[in-house]
A and B are shown apart, each in its own frame.
Chain A
Amino acid sequence: MKFTLSWLKDHLETTASLDEITAKLTAIGLEVESIADPGAALKGFIVGHVLEANQHPNADRLRLCAVSTGTETLQVVCGAPNARAGLKVVLARPGVTIPATGDVLKKGAIRGVESQGMMCSTRELKLGEDHDGIIELPADAPVGADVAGVLNIDPVIEINLTPNRVDALGVYGVARDLAAAGLGTLKPYDTAPVAGTFDSPRKVATWLPADKAALCPQFVGRAIRGVKNAESPAWLKDRLTAIGLRPVSALVDITQYLTIDLGRPLHAFDDAKLKGAVGPRLAKDGESLVALNGKTYALDANTVVIADESAALGIGGVMGGETTAVSETTTTVFLESALFDPLNIAATGRKLQINSDARYCFERGVDPESAISGAEAATRMILKLCGGEASHMVQVGTAPQWKRVIKFDPARVHTLGGIDLPPGGSKTTLARLGFTIDEHASGWNVTPPSWRGDIEGWQDLVEEVLRIHGYDAIPAVPLPRPSMPKVTLTPAQRQAGITRRTLAARGLAETTTWAFLPRAQADLFRGDLPLVLLANPISSDLDAMRPSLIPNLAAAAGRNANRGMTDVALFELGPRFEANKPGAQVQIACALRAGHTSARHWSGTRRPVDAFDAKADALAALDAAGASAAGLQTATGSEAGVPGWFHPGRAGVLKLGNQVLATFGELHPRVLAALDIKGPVVACEVFLERIPPAKKKQAGVARPLLKPSPFQPVERDFAFVVDTKVAAETVLRAVRNVDKALITDVGLFDVYVGAGIGAGEKSLALSVTLQPRDATLTDAEIEAVAAKVVAAVEKACGGRLRA
C-alpha cells in the first residue's frame, strides 16, 4: 500500500521527520517496503535570490546574474529566458550533484566570464520535463533555505501490509497506528452525515437468496444531482499519480481517493444509465459483463454482481462495469457503498484474475461500520469538488454484528510478551487504537473497534500492546537449559547420518534432487508401485512423485557427462513415494556411479564401473546403518526381487531372511536409452527403515569379551570346479557352514574359466582359515576338515576338487 507523506500528515499532526516516521512504521508492524523521496537528491540546493541580471558581455543569449545565497553574492551565468532580477531561484553551488546528469557541478567560465553556480530547471532536478526556463520559486521563499522544503516535494511511502491488518488499508488507519505509537496526534475524520435534501429517486434492493444474504449484507446508495464531473483539482491528481493511480475524472478520482484514504471502496454510477432499482444479486450462469478495464468477463452463479432491473452492472466488490460508468456528461451520480463477504470476493477475484484495489480491501475485510460513514465522506467530497445536491441515503440490509468482548488480564503482557509494562501503559495504547476498556476487579473487558476484525483473543491484545510499545523492549532470556543435553537424534536419524558420511568417505558426492520427476521416468522405475502424480505440477517434466531415487541421480550423471565430467559418483538420502497418502514414503540411501572408477592414470588402476562397485556401496551403507554383511545373502533374478530397471544378468539384491534390504546392479541398457545417458551406470538403493533395530543388550553398549586364540591359524587353499551357473555364494556358504567355530574366514581369490576344465564349468579358488581354540591342529585334524569341506561343496552344488 502506497501513500505520500503529506497525505499522511492530513491525518497526523506530527513534527516527526520522514526517517522517524518510516522507522516507526516498520517497528509497529507496517513494514516499509520502499521510500521514494525525490527531495533526497536535492541536498545542497538552496533558495537563491537574483539581485541583478545583466547582459553577458560576450554572448547575446546569456545573462550575467548576481545571486544572493543569504550570506554571499555569487556571479552566475545563465541562459534561461526567465532569469531576471528579483526572482527566487533554485541555486546549485559547486560541489552539488545535478540529479538529471549525475555530474558534480564545478566552477567554470562561460564565454570568458566566471560562473560560480547554476540556476536549475525542473528537468535538471528530475522533478518534471519542463526545460523552458529555470524554476521560479514563491517570492516569500527564504533565501538560503533548503529547496526540498520550499518545493513541497512529497515523498511516497510504500508499506507491506500483513493480511490481518485491514485497518491499515487506509491512510487514516496508518495515521492512527502512528499516533498510538506516540508519533503525533490523530486528527478527527469528518464523517458527520450530510443531510439529504430530497428522496433518492433511485431505489436499492437485494435479489440475493436469503441463504446467500451474507455475501452482501449491506448495500447503501445515494443520488447526487446537478454535479459537474470535470478534471480533478491538481492536489488530488498529484496524490493519485504519486502512488501510481491514473486520474480519470473528479467522480472516479474521489472513489479512488477514498479507497486509499479510508480503506473504503465505493462506486459511482451515472444515474441516467440505470434502469429501476439497483442492488446485489447472484450472476446467472452464462452471463457476462464488460468491466471498467474494458475486458469482458464470463460470470457464474457464485459471483455477486451489482445489477439494476435490466442487467448486471458491475462485479460486486471487485470492479465496476463500463456501461454505467460516469463521464464528463454525467449530471446525476448514484453513489454505491456496500459490504461484501471476503471469501467470496477472494474467490471471484482469483477466478476472474482481477487485481483491483476494491478486491484487495474487500477480500481482507473492510470495516463493517464503514458503508454509511464512507458514503457520507464521499458525498462531502463530491459536493465540494463537483457541486450538486445530495438525496437522502437509501439502504438494504444492515451492518453485521461485530462487537465482541475479550477478557484481558494486563499481566499477560508480561507473562506472554515477556516485557514489564505498567497496566496504565497497556490501557493508553489500547485506547489510542480505538479499543474500549471496561475495568473490573477480576480484569478488563476489552471491546475491539469495528475496524479490528483480526482481534480475537487476549493474545491479540498482548500483541497490540507489544507492537505499539516496540518489540525492541522484549528482553532476551535464555531458555532454561538442561545441565547436560540429552540425546538429540533418534537411532534412525543417527544411522542416517553415519550412512551419509560413510558414503561420502567412499568417494561419493552427496546431492539433493527433486522429490518429483517426469511421469515417463516414474513409469520406468516404479515396478509394482502405483504412479503418484501431482494434480498441479510446476512443469510437465516434474509431474510425478519419485518411486526411486535412481532416475534423478542418473539424470544428474547425464547432465554432468554433457559438461564433460563422465566419471560420476553421487549419492542421496531421501524419500521415495509409494502411494498417494501421508506416511507412504520410504527413506532410501541411493548411490550411483557412472563411467570409470577414476581418471586415466599411469598405474592402470582405472576401469569402468561395474555391479560390484554398486554392491560394495550397498554393503557399506548397510554396514553403516547397522546391518553387517555377515548376515546378508545375495540373491539374483526377478523372483528374488531384483527390479526390472537393472541389467538382468548384472544385478542382485541383498537380503536378510526374506526381507530385501538393498538392490544393486548395472542399469538396463533400455533404461539408459530411455534416459538418454551413456553407460555403464551402476546404482544401489538401500532401504534404511527395513534394517532391524539393534537388539537391546543386557550389558548396554559393552562389547562381548574378546578371546583371542593363542594358537596359530592354519590357511588351506582349495580349487573347486563347478557348473558356471553355480553362484559363488552357494560354495562360500557351504564351506562356512562346515564348522562355524573352526572356520573363521573363507576368501575367494580366483575365478577361472578355460583350458584345463570342462566347457560349462568354472574353477573357484578358495582360501579357508582354520582357527583352533584349544590346541594346535594336527595334520590329521586338518585333513579331516578339508575332507568335510570337499564333501560339503559337492553336496551343495556338485563341485569337485580341481585336479
Chain B
Amino acid sequence: MADSNVLQIRDDVLKACAAAADIAAVEAVRVDALGKKGRVTELMKTMGALSPDERKAFGQQINTVKDEIAAAIEAKKTQLESAALDTRLAREVLDVTLPVRPEARGTLHPIGQTIDELTAIFGAMGFEVAEGPDVEDDFHNFTALNFPPGHPAREMHDTFFLPTAEDGNRYLLRTHTSPVQIRTMMGKKPPIRVIIPGRTYRCDYDMTHTPMFHQMELLVIDKGITMAHLRGCLEEFLRVYFGVDDLTTRFRPSFFPFTEPSAEVDIGCSRQGGELKIGNHGDWLEILGCGMVHPNVMKACGLDPEEYQGFAAGLGVERIAMLKYGIPDLRTFFESDLRWLKHYGFAALDVPTLTGGLAR
C-alpha cells in the first residue's frame, strides 16, 4: 500500500514538474512535494508508525523518490532559467560596429621631440642641458664671443633689438644659443659638457628663414680636448641621430668669430631623383658648424686657454628635424596648423631613449 502511494506521488510530481511553464510553477511543485506540508514530507511523517524492518525499506524508497523529485525540479529550474536568459539576450543587441566614444589624441611638436632625442644622445655621452635667456646683452651675444666691433651681425639688419632700456643698455634677442656658452663657462669650472637647446632670433623671413628658430649648441671644455674629439663626438652623434651606422662626415675649414680652428661639417647624402637621402651615397650635405673654442672667448670667461681647450658646435633643430622626418617647409613649424601637428607630431608616450630607440 505504501509502495503504490509513493510511486503515485512520484508520478504526479514529475508530471507536474514537467508541465511547469515558469519558475513560479516549478516552485509551487516543489512546495507541494517537498515543502513543510508537501506530500512527500507528509508521507515521511507516517514512517514512525512502521516496524523497524518496514521503516528501513520504506525509508530507502521514499528517499530515492525524494532525490529524484529534487533533481527533476532543479533540472527544470535550470532549463527554464536558461531559456529566460536566452530570451533576454535575444533582446539585448548592440550594434557594436558603431564608432567608440571620441577620445582626443594629443601630439608633441617635432621641435620638442627632436630636442628630447638630442638630449638622449648627448646625455649618454655625459652632457648636461644648459639654458639661458632669450633677451640678451651685447656682451654675452657678441663681445665675449669675439665678435669684433662693427661686425655685420651687430646691425639692426640682422639682429632684433629692444629699445634702449632704463638702465641705458640696448638689449637684443639672442641670435644664437652661444651666449649660454659664456654663461656656462662663467658659472662653473671645467670640465664642462653641456648641450644648449633654445629659441634664437634673426631678422629674416623667407622660404628658408623664420624670425625665430631653434638651435642646439654643444660645448666641451677640459684639459687636452682636441679637434679629434670634436670629430669623434659629432660623428657618433650624427650616426645615432640619423640611424646610419657608418655615416661618413666631411670636415671643411670655415670661419666663426668664436672658434679657431673652425669647421663646417657635411654628411654623406644622395639627391638622386630630387629626393634627399642621408647616407654614404657620394654627395654631401652641410649639417652644422663647429670648432675649437677661441682663446679670446676663454679669456672673456676667465679661463686660461693655455690650460683648457674645448670645442663648440651649433646646429639648427628644425633643420635636422626636417632632414630626419622629411618635413619640407621650415615655416610650417610655426603655423600651428592642426593637420600639420597631427601629421608630423609625436605620440605623448613616444619618449626617445637610446635603450628603446630614438624614433619609431
A contacts, CB < 8 Å to B: 26-29, 31, 162-165, 342-343, 346-347, 350, 414-419, 457, 459-460, 462-463, 466-467, 471-472, 474-479, 481-482, 485-490, 493, 497, 500-516, 532-539, 542, 545, 552-553, 556, 559-560, 563, 565, 568-571, 573-575, 577, 580-585, 597-599, 601-603, 605-606
A585 and B133 within 8 A (CB): yes
Specify which chain B residues have a CB less than 8 angstroms from the CB of A580 in the assembled complex: 135, 162-163, 165-166, 171
**Interface mask (B251-273 → A, CB under 8 Å = 1, otherwise 0):** 11111000011111000000000
A471 and B253 within 8 A (CB): yes
B150 and A512 within 8 A (CB): no
A415 and B224 within 8 A (CB): yes
**Interface mask (B229-270 → A, CB under 8 Å = 1, otherwise 0):** 111110110000000000001111111000011111000000
Specify which chain B residues have a CB less than 8 angstroms from the CB of A581 in the assembled complex: 135, 165, 167, 169, 171
B337 and A559 within 8 A (CB): yes
Q: Which of A502, A515, A602 makes the CB contact (< 8 A) with B199?
A: A515
Specify which chain A residues have a CB less than 8 angstroms from the CB of B162 in the assembled complex: 532-535, 545, 580
Q: Main SS of chain A's interface residues? A: loop
Query: How far is it, in angstroms, between the C-alpha of A569 and the C-alpha of B107 when the chains are bound?
Result: 10
A538 and B333 within 8 A (CB): no
B190 at the A/B interface (Cβ < 8 Å)?
A: no
B80 to chain A, nearest CB (A): 36
Most B CB contacts (10 A, CB to CB) among A343, A350, A471, A601 go to A471
Query: Which are the 4 A-B pairs with shortest beta-carbon distances?
Result: A507-B104, A418-B228, A29-B253, A556-B336
Range for the number of chain B residues in contact with chain A: 35 or more
Q: Which of B108, B249, B254, B294 makes the CB contact (< 8 A) with A29?
A: B254
Specify which chain A residues have a CB less than 8 angstroms from the CB of B292 in the assembled complex: 416, 459
B226 and A350 within 8 A (CB): no
Can you list 16 A-B pairs, Cβ within 8 angstroms, ordered by A?
A31-B254, A350-B155, A417-B261, A471-B250, A500-B108, A505-B348, A509-B106, A515-B201, A535-B162, A545-B162, A570-B336, A581-B165, A581-B171, A582-B137, A585-B135, A601-B101
B69 at the A/B interface (Cβ < 8 Å)?
A: no
Q: Which of A419, A478, A536 makes the CB contact (< 8 A) with B161?
A: A536
B283 to chain A, nearest CB (A): 13
Specify which chain B residues have a CB less than 8 angstroms from the CB of A162 in the assembled complex: 254-255
Query: How far is it, in angstroms, between the C-alpha of A384 and the C-alpha of B343 when the chains are bound?
Result: 69
- A504-B102 contact, Cβ under 8 Å, with A29-B252, A459-B260, A582-B137: no
Query: How far is it, in angstroms, between the C-alpha of A574 and the C-alpha of B131 when the chains are bound?
Result: 12
B178 at the A/B interface (Cβ < 8 Å)?
A: no
Q: List the count of A-B residue pairs having beta carbons below 8 Å apart.
A: 274
Specify which chain A residues have a CB less than 8 angstroms from the CB of B152 in the assembled complex: 346, 350
In chain B, positions 258-313 with a C-beta closer than 8 Å to chain A are: 260-264, 292, 294-295, 305, 309
B122 and A488 within 8 A (CB): yes
- A481-B104 contact, Cβ under 8 Å, with A512-B333, A560-B338: no
Query: What is the chain A residue whose CB lies nearest that of B294?
Result: A459
Q: Which of B105, B124, B129 makes the CB contact (< 8 A) with A489?
A: B129
A501 and B351 within 8 A (CB): yes
Q: Which of A418, A419, A537, A569 makes the CB contact (< 8 A) with B160?
A: A537
A500 and B112 within 8 A (CB): yes
Most A CB contacts (10 A, CB to CB) among B162, B169, B264 go to B162
Q: A515-B212, A585-B135 are in contact. List 19 more A-B contacts (CB 8 A).
A: A416-B226, A416-B227, A418-B227, A418-B230, A459-B295, A475-B232, A476-B231, A477-B228, A485-B125, A509-B106, A510-B112, A535-B162, A553-B336, A570-B336, A570-B341, A574-B199, A582-B140, A585-B133, A597-B104
A505 and B349 within 8 A (CB): yes
Query: What is the chain B residue whose CB lies nearest that of A601?
Result: B102
A151 to chain B, nearest CB (A): 30
A569 and B260 within 8 A (CB): no
Query: What is the chain A residue whose CB lies nearest that of B198?
Result: A575
B224 and A28 within 8 A (CB): no
B76 to chain A, nearest CB (A): 40
Specify which chain B residues have a CB less than 8 angstroms from the CB of A488 in the assembled complex: 119, 122-123, 127-129
B116 at the A/B interface (Cβ < 8 Å)?
A: yes
B253 and A467 within 8 A (CB): yes
**Interface mask (B150-176 → A, CB under 8 Å = 1, otherwise 0):** 101001110011110111011101000
A105 to chain B, nearest CB (A): 26
Specify which chain B residues have a CB less than 8 angstroms from the CB of A27 in the assembled complex: 252-253
Query: How far is it, in angstroms, between the C-alpha of A605 and the C-alpha of B345 when the chains are bound?
Result: 26
Q: Which of A459, A503, A569, A585 makes the CB contact (< 8 A) with B134?
A: A585
Query: What is the chain B residue whose CB lies nearest that of A591?
Result: B106
A514 and B233 within 8 A (CB): no
Specify which chain B residues have a CB less than 8 angstroms from the CB of A414 in the assembled complex: 226
A466 and B227 within 8 A (CB): yes
**Interface mask (B35-58 → A, CB under 8 Å = 1, otherwise 0):** 000000000000000000000000
A683 to chain B, nearest CB (A): 14
A547 to chain B, nearest CB (A): 13
Query: What is the chain A residue whose CB lies nearest that of B199?
Result: A515
Specify which chain A residues have a CB less than 8 angstroms from the CB of B260 in the assembled complex: 457, 459-460, 463
- A478-B171 contact, Cβ under 8 Å, with A459-B260, A603-B101: no
Specify which chain A residues have a CB less than 8 angstroms from the CB of B345 in the assembled complex: 509-510
A512 and B111 within 8 A (CB): yes
Specify which chain B residues have a CB less than 8 angstroms from the CB of A510 in the assembled complex: 106-109, 112, 341, 345
Specify which chain B residues have a CB less than 8 angstroms from the CB of A490 in the assembled complex: 128-129
Query: What is the chain B residue whose CB lies nearest that of A502?
Result: B348
